[in-house]
Amino acid sequence: MSLFEFYETASPLHRLNPMAKFLGVVIVMAGATLYFDPFVPATLAAGLILTLWILGRVPLNRLTRWMIPVVGLGLPLAIFNALYYDVSRIAHPTVIGRFGLWLITAEGAWAGAGLGVRVACFIAASMFFVVTTDPTDFALSLIQQAHLPYRFGYGVLVSYRFLPLLRAEFDTIRAAHRVRGVGERAGLRGRLEQLRRYAIPLLAGAIRHSERTALAMDSKAFGAGPGRTYRRNLRVRASDWAFVIGALVFTITVVAMLGRLGLADLQLIPAS
């Protein structure tokens, strides 16, 4: 399943230089990393999603659909951490209740919620970036702003093209094996065996495909000289700086206000 995909539209967020957008998102994620309470990452994530909706002009129904992986990965993590919280570290755990074999404590629920919301915030942040960034612009900005070697930048672009093809290939192989009478097997051993069977034709196809692409690129003089020109040159504009500064101001404001309310739990060195 592809989690998020680029949503093509014209919006202030789409027009940003990808590197500036990346920097802004990293600042917000850094805020979420340092705080172990659920409130800071929750507020930061809400800010990201709201910005994506208003400034990114992403329709609400899409946004709702993309919230599934955000919540879907954060929530189970929160529950598991709450259930398996190591109570032995605490002298007097506050027991809220029991759930079968599990002891549910306030400390566990707090830590679980903190972790779950943080992960959800990271996923929301990557959604923010992926949904509003044209892959071609991203590759160009890696080369032109981040000064990565152009071979690497184009590698990113080629793999972006490659993934849907690989997925289609996987579906075809699966169907082809079903016709052979290969049942989809349950159990760990069956699954491993199945994976091995799919892997060989999939890898053979992938290697052949990438070799063909590499030959086609080489035959168009890719990598032949020390440099190349670019039809489009991405620039860093005032709006890009405004976005980075905005992200910084937003993060600091959230942290400061929640800190004042006593809801922020800053841990530079995590306790566990």
Q: Which residues contact other proteins by CB under 8 A? A: 135-136, 154, 157-158, 160-161, 164-165, 172-173, 175-183, 197, 200-201, 204-205, 209, 212-225, 227-233
Take residue 57 and report the two structure tokens written for it. Answer: 């002009």
Smallest gap from residue 159 Cβ to other proteins (A): 10
Question: In the complex with other proteins, which residue's Cβ is closer, 94 or 213?
Answer: 213
Q: Any residues with CB less than 8 A from the CB of 62 and at least 6 apart, and which?
A: 7
> What is the C-alpha separation between 66 and 165, in angstroms, rounded?
22
If we measure between CA atoms, which residue out of 219, 28, 3, 244 comes closest to residue 122?
28
Smallest gap from residue 206 Cβ to other proteins (A): 11
Smallest gap from residue 67 Cβ to other proteins (A): 18
Question: In the complex with other proteins, which residue's Cβ is closer, 175 or 186?
Answer: 175
> What is the C-alpha separation between 208 and 102, in angstroms, rounded?
51
If we measure between CA atoms, which residue out of 152, 125, 128 comes closest to residue 16?
128
Smallest gap from residue 162 Cβ to other proteins (A): 9
Task: Determine the residue type at 249.
Answer: V
Q: Give, for 96, the enclosing helix (H) or strand (E).
A: strand 95-99
Question: In the complex with other proteins, which residue's Cβ is closer, 53 or 162?
Answer: 162
Question: In the complex with other proteins, which residue's Cβ is closer, 93 or 223?
Answer: 223
Quote the distance between the C-alpha of residue 255 and its chain's center.
23
Query: Three-state SS for 120?
Result: helix
Cβ neighbour number for residue 181 with a 10 Å cutoff:
6
Smallest gap from residue 166 Cβ to other proteins (A): 11
Smallest gap from residue 221 Cβ to other proteins (A): 4
Contact 8, 85 (CB under 8 A): no
